[in-house]
Structure 1
Amino acid sequence: MDKNDLFYKFVAFTASVHRVTHELTKNVKPDMITPLQYSLLENVKVSQPVTPSQISDCLHISMPNTSRELRKLIEKNLIEKVEDSEDRRKQYICLSKNGEIIINEAFASIESRFLSRIQNASPEDLEEMSRALDVLHSKVFY
């Protein structure tokens, strides 16, 4: 396969991922947090423990904005800062128990929507999707 053709298939695929992600996550965010704060919580959930600079880089937001939003989430008791045992200057962010509850509720809604989308897939289709996701994860999204 031509690598240029592969690239354009990848671009179309990632655009579809963004669209479907929007559909799956629509209205799962609790009213008590902003969309940015939800994104921060989601990022922490899948990457924890994570540093503030890793969050800033991944979500494309400045460090001052990251710090401000993290502070707000700490005040809402949704995340916790944990000091590195070897380097006390380094801090990691983890979800608090309340943060875990909020994200788990959101993920349950997302999972329900996802399962609805794949309800007619055969066992072979599900296995093929799983293999495709494994390949993408190991070769592209590492």
Structure 2
Amino acid sequence: MEKQLLKQMIDRFETSTFTVNRILHACIRELMPENLTADQHSILRYIRERGLCTSSELADFFFVGKSSITAIVKRLADKNLIQRILDDKDRRVIYLSLTAEGAELVETMQEKIAELLTKFINHFDEQEAHTFIETYEKLARILIEEEGGKGRE
């Protein structure tokens, strides 16, 4: 691709990505219960998708230090949204899973977020929506491959 065109594409991408992220994050924050942060919600979603995980796995996936994850996990456990489960074979390993209350909260939030996103996706016709999602998924795959991924999906 020609250098000038590439620069224009990059500028357009950065501008639109910033706008989309800023507005969507603000909209999603408004949907969150008062006692839940966006980071906490992301961790709850990750645990729901995995079933069980460790704090180290969370730190690796979210690119944060283990001390940050420890603080978030403690808050989520104090709110009875996650539970710690000792490994039967190695007592040093502690798994995290959602409590029933945590699972219910994640499900409720996912329904609210789906409702919000539906409002925006409905502005695309079916082919545009498919093309957009396929292109966005391709970008996600490239980022995972180029940045080493380590299972970050």
Aligned equivalents of 2:85, 2:73: Cα separation in 1 = 13
1:102 to 100, 105, 112: 105
Deviation (angstroms), 1:116: 0.4
1:16-95 alignment, distance < 5 Å: 16-46=19-49, 48-59=51-62, 61-84=64-87, 87-95=90-98
Q: Does 1:132 align with 2:124?
A: no
Deviation (angstroms), 1:87: 4.0
The SS at the match of 1:111 is helix
Unaligned runs of 5+ residues in structure 1 are none
Aligned equivalents of 1:46, 1:20: Cα separation in 2 = 25
Q: Alpha carbons of 1:60 and 1:99: their partners in 2 closer, same or farther (altered >3 Å)?
A: same
1:118 to 118, 121, 125: 121
Q: Which amino acid in 2 is paired with 1:70? A: V
Deviation (angstroms), 1:48: 4.7
Aligned equivalents of 1:139, 1:72: Cα separation in 2 = 34
When the two structures are superposed, what TM-score results if normalisation uses the length of structure 1? 0.75
Does the 8 A contact of 2:53 with 2:96 survive in 1?
Answer: yes
Unaligned runs of 5+ residues in structure 2 are none
Q: Which moved more, 1:95-104 or 1:68-77?
A: 68-77
Q: Which moved more, 1:2-11 or 1:119-128?
A: 2-11
Q: Return the structure number with greater relative CO, CA threshold 8 A, min gap 6.
A: 1
Deviation (angstroms), 1:119: 1.1
Q: What CA RMSD, in Å, does the superposition of the two structures yield over aligned residues?
A: 3.0
